[in-house]
């Protein structure tokens, strides 16, 4: 179920040279604001249409793919514009100038608040908004030298995400949920997924290296 994004991701990857060229060719702030507004409208439109016509969209592969690409395009554009305009570093510098030595503490508290809001009233923070704010705040609070554990988990993050559902739902669901409490279920699920992800990452790296020029 968590693999839904792979095909729209491929579509955006194939379109990315043309999209990035268009962004750089029309580099004014007004132009980029227009791109962002269009992406927001497209995201909202695709979300509304899916809520209204989900059975018909799911039955048509082309419509389903178009809906998923529209959902991902907003985050793709935010990432591209962030790179072009150096938004994360500028956000961190602005926060530092306004909050001084309280910058990291305030950012941690705001980040925790965002997580609570996302878990309790998710509709207040749609996925793109939450993800982008999370990235900006993490840019402020991240250590100069990330912990080796976090670096190691980051290298496995994609494989962890792609295989965790097999343990949580498809293969070992009774075992995972036999621990009953989320504070125990979560680390068990992460551990099982990590054990599976390490060889998967090595295999995928070996295969992809053969296609790298």
- pLDDT tens figures, 132-163: 998 899 888 877 676 788 888 888 888 888 88
Residues 29-82 pLDDT 10s: 888 888 999 999 999 999 899 889 888 988 988 999 999 999 899 999 999 999
- What is the 3-state composition of the chain as percent helix, strand, coil, each rounded to the nearest 5? 85, 0, 15
Alpha carbon 95 to its chain centroid, in Å, reads 23
Q: Which pLDDT score is estimated for 209?
A: 81
pLDDT value of position 12? 93
Q: Are the C-beta atoms of residues 167 and 176 closer than 8 Å to each other?
A: yes
What's 167's DSSP letter?
I
End-to-end Cα, the chain, rounded Å: 32
**How far apart are alpha carbons 111 and 130 in whole angstroms?**
10
**Dihedral sign from CA coordinates of 114, 116, 117, 118:** positive
Q: What is the pLDDT of residue 180?
A: 87
What pLDDT, on the 0 to 100 scale, is given for residue 27?
A: 74
pLDDT digits (tens, 9 = 90+) for 169-213: 888 888 988 988 889 999 999 999 998 888 888 888 888 888 765
DSSP string, 83-102: HHHTHHHHHHHHHHHHHGGG
Could you tell me the CA-to-CA distances from 201 to 3, 13, 61, 191, 207 in Å, in that order?
Answer: 16, 21, 30, 15, 10
Strand positions, DSSP E, 50-191: none
- Each residue of 34-51: b (16+ CB within 10 Å) or e? ebeeebeebbeebeebbe
Give the torsion sign (CA, 189, 167, 150, 97).
negative
- Nearest Cα neighbor of 159 from 3, 10, 1 is 3
φ/ψ region of 142 (left if φ > 0, alpha if ψ in -120 to 50, else beta) reads beta
pLDDT, residue 158, reads: 85
Q: What is the token pair recorded at 102?
A: 């309280």
Task: Give the global pTM.
Answer: 0.76
């Amino acid at each position: 179920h968590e693999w839904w994004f792979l095909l729209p991701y491929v579509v955006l990857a194939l379109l990315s040279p043309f999209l990035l060229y268009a962004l750089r060719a029309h580099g004014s702030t007004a132009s980029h604001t227009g791109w962002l507004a269009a992406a927001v409208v497209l995201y909202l439109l695709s979300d509304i249409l899916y809520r209204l016509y989900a059975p018909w969209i799911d039955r048509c592969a082309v419509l389903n793919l178009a809906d998923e690409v529209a959902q991902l395009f907003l985050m793709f554009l935010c990432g591209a514009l962030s790179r072009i305009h150096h938004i994360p570093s500028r956000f961190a510098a602005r926060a530092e100038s306004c909050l001084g030595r309280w910058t990291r503490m305030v950012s941690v508290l705001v980040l925790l608040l965002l997580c609570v809001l996302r878990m309790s009233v998710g509709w207040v923070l749609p996925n793109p908004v939450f993800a982008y704010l999370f990235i900006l705040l993490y840019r402020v609070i991240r250590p100069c030298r990330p912990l080796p554990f976090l670096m190691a988990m980051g290298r496995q993050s994609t494989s962890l995400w792609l295989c965790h559902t097999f343990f949580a739902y498809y293969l070992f669901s009774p075992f995972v949920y036999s621990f009953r409490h989320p504070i125990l279920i979560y680390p068990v699920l992460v551990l099982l997924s990590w054990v599976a992800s390490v060889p998967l990452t090595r295999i995928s790296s070996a295969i992809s290296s053969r296609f790298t020029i």
